[in-house]
Amino acid sequence: RLVREIAQDLRFQSSAVAALQEVAEAYLVGFFEGINLCAKHAERVAIMPKDIQLARRIRGGRA
């Protein structure tokens, strides 16, 4: 749905949309695994914004 909202003037094959969804889900799962590891390293069960910031820095993104 997000792809269709962003690219309203473009047409996508259903397999292309499925591939985008697969890649996005894989990225988010990996990202949240990293966030969870940051929380565990700090001996916490719940994630906090600082865990997200640290995970982004580790992955090479902006914090």
Domain ranges of the chain: 2-59
DSSP sequence for the chain: -HHHHHTTT----HHHHHHHHHHHHHHHHHHHHHHHHHHHHTT-SS--HHHHHHHHHHHTS--
Per residue in 9-59, pLDDT (tens digit) is 899 899 999 999 999 999 999 999 999 999 999 999 999 999 999 999 999
Closest CA to 17 of 7, 31, 3: 3
CA 4 to chain centre: 19
Q: Which amino acid is present at 59?
A: R
pTM exceeding the 0.85 threshold for the entire prediction: no
- Which class in CATH covers the domain with range 2-59? mainly alpha
